[in-house]
Amino acid sequence: GEASSAIARHVLEPGDINLEHMAEELADVQIMIDQLLVLSPMLKHHFERQKYKKIKRQIRRMVEDARLNVD
């Protein structure tokens, strides 16, 4: 929740202070994710698989969007 709020503040009011706060909150999120992945090897497997699927899906969307904008 804190990360979402920090992102929203930065989007609404870009600047060094909000950027720094957003980076701080995202670092907390990353640390929590890293801790969970260390504690559960099976979670790490599923997490990496889901991340890969989502990246592939986003790339497909970007390619499709590029095609639509060229035509």
Predicted local confidence at residue 69, as pLDDT: 82
- DSSP string over 1-67: -HHHHHHHHHHHS-SHHHHHHHHHHHHHHHHHHHHHHHH-HHHHHHHHHHHHHHHHHHHHHHHHHHH
Give the model confidence (pLDDT) of 33-60 as tens digits: 999 999 998 999 999 999 999 999 999 9
Q: At what angle do helices 2-12 and 16-39 cross, to 10 degrees?
A: 150
| Residues above pLDDT 90, as percent of the chain | 90
Give pLDDT, residue 29. Answer: 96
What is the distance between the alpha carbons of residues 29 and 4, in angstroms, rounded to a whole number?
Answer: 10
Contact 10, 22 (CB under 8 A): yes
